[in-house]
Amino acid sequence: MDASLKRPIYLTVGLVIVLVVILVISGSNTSLNVFSIIIILGLIALVWFKFFKEKNSRGPSPIDSLDNVTSMPKQAPPKEDQLAEDEDVRTRTGAPCEKAGLYVCKDHPKRTVSMKEGNRFPPCRGDKKGHSTVWILKE
């Protein structure tokens, strides 16, 4: 049994036991019985909702990803325009520089910055005020 599945099962069993104890203690008090059943069922639903939410947030299991690999559609080879675009090195303000050189602001072609590997890209000050931008490797 999956280790992550044990906790919701134990909690569910515990809540059912609590419900049975409450029903036995309350006797023939119908309103208390109905109220207890509604509360316990809500808690059980909450336990399982949380379990499935956590399971889905972790992403697919390795077996699921193998199934997706075999069913992936084949892609057409890239066109010449796309190859030229892929050769451009583009990055954003705040990102670390991966390739040293002279970069130009996408919005202000006259604004350039010389970068070394590992340094973070600054904001562009083309309009006399800083703004986030895309930097393109020129040289």
Q: How many domains does the chain have?
A: 2
- The reply to whether 80 falls in a domain is no
What's the pLDDT score for residue 44?
92
Structure tokens at 10: 């134990």
14, 58: one domain: yes
Q: Report yes or no on 77 lying in a domain.
A: no
Claim to verify: residue 64 and residue 93 sit in the same structural domain: no
Domain region containing 59? 3-70
pLDDT tens per residue across all 139 residues of the chain: 677 788 889 999 999 999 899 888 888 888 888 998 999 999 999 999 998 888 787 655 555 555 445 555 556 665 555 444 446 788 888 899 988 999 999 888 888 899 998 899 998 887 777 888 898 998 7
The answer on 66 and 94 residing in a single domain is: no
pLDDT at 80: 52
On whether both 13 and 63 belong to a single domain, the answer is yes
Neighbours of 40 (CB within 10 A): 19
In this structure, the answer to whether residues 13 and 60 fall within a common structural domain is yes
- Asked if residue 64 and residue 22 are part of one domain, the reply reads yes
pLDDT of 61 reads 53
Q: Are 111 and 93 in contact (CB under 8 A)?
A: no
Report how far Cα 75 is from the mean position of its chain's Cα atoms: 25
SS3 102: strand
Determine which helix (DSSP H) or strand (DSSP E) holds 108, and give its type and residue range: none
Whether 99 and 42 map to the same domain: the answer is no
Q: Whats the size of the chain, residue-wise?
A: 139
